[in-house]
Chain A
Amino acid sequence: MLSTMPGKESLVPRIVFYVYAISTIIPCCMTIVSLIPTLFDISIYLKPISTALSIFGVLLLTYIFYIALNYIRLHKLRFSDFINRSEIVVSDKISEIDASSFRAILEIMGNRIRRIPRRTSPIFIAPLVSVLYIIGHVTVELASRYVLEITPEAFLEFPLSSEALMEFVMYTTTMSIGSILLLVSVILCIYILHILNRDLYELESIEDEMISTLRPLASKIGLKLPYREVNIAKRNTILYAILYIVTLGLFGVYWVYRVAIRDPEEHVKEDYKVYSELPKILAITPQ
């Protein structure tokens, strides 16, 4: 039974998160500092450090996403497998009718799990964040290598030469592609954080429903199935995304902490308490 539970090793290690948090908070603070006019010049000198830390942070975020997404995927598979293999033990206290009604409930649970949307493989979606961010960042930086000696008035008054027009088209295209890639990487981050929360929330509610169905049967044999002390909250993605943008990415650190670190950790802890009691009432077909 316990083999269906995800082990600790599949959770995101805190050390990785702490390093990620530091490497994200420092560039965020640097961005905020650069908005103060008198400190603008200092921020120019610190730009390489900020770039290095941002890229490092994004690579760590990719790792965190990969582990967290993989954890949810495995958890879903194992839970589904557990439902398929579970059978209630018929005894003098639990009748055949109870067992068959419980079997029907398990079938419904199985269907509900199957209805959770199938997500893209973590090995593809997590690195995509880094790839998009790094290509976007490099493209924007390359676009800034264009020397622009042009004002809007001049643009209206003097027609551009064909060479200058070509360069101008190249510049705007490069800058636009870079900006779009950066924007897509941010949207992808928000999407991953959203699905991490939604999938775990959905899984937990199905698990809870199954346990609450089992609870009266368990009490018949004098077994008390514990309740979860902490439940995963359904987070408002739009509100979190707004806070993420308003705080120039600082809130993102907390968001990652909640949905990729804390929530799975709490879920595993609560799962352990509940599942350790189940072999007393369920018979599980060996694999």
Chain B
Amino acid sequence: MKTGKIVILSALLTLLCLNASADGAQSLRLSEVATADSTECGPWIEIQNTSWGTQNLGGFYITNNPAVFNTQLSAPQRIEKMHLIPTGNPITAITPQNCILLYADGNDNLGLQHLNFKLVPGDVVALYSGNGIDLIDSITIPADLKAGQSWAKDFDTNTWALCKRPTPTQANNYEQAKKNNKIAEFKEKDPHGFAMAIMAMGVVFSCLLLLYIFFKIFGKAFSRTTSEPSQAGTPSPATDSDAGARVAAMMAVTEATSGTGDENLDIALIALALQAELAHDEESGIITICPTTSPWADKAEQIAAGMLLHS
């Protein structure tokens, strides 16, 4: 039995870990590429981290070799054809919503951002995860990509298009732009806030209405199935009206004796007295009102404690 539980828990944890790692890899995307003939600064590949957490590109593989798409290849065979992005360097860590530039100039001895292949128009670019099996992202660069142009991804429409003004590491702050657009749109189309009030109140009411319907039905069904007569010998739970009468009587006493002088404390004392008096174990709607005084501040407690110490 115990072994079974351990197996189930291990399986669940493994599933969670696998899912987490897949999420991390999937948030890395090719976002813009330029070839040897297209820009002055040389061919480059821009990879964007679309998530809100830092992702490290270290340990991933990248290539322009179309042979890697052959599904018959084993992982080691595919890895042989690709360039490994070195691990253990903070340069490859991409902060949320940011990007990294890799120089596909064929000079990987110039630094870890330089790749061992040179990108030309018509090439493919493929990004593989560290196991050499999972294809993260790939694109084919148009063969007619001209000088001064790049091939860039529009994350809004999820399509690639020709970019006449390449924007290495710059045009990727889509989220801030989207946020500004949202605000500008509300400012323009809903200057008095009526639409926002209707929509947002609609959302609030929808959620609460759903909860109301669910718990109305659930509560009814449940109270039907659990309604059992109270056991003989056990005190039956008092009704609210009984409790009300008792509270009223106690309030009258506290009023007549002016209580402790603190209304909240009086209510707390009454609640405590009621709790001690009535069987409250399963009764709904018990509120505990914390008294504002503590034994350190309460005169009566201090005196009692003092008497104990002296006795």
- A, B: real partners: no
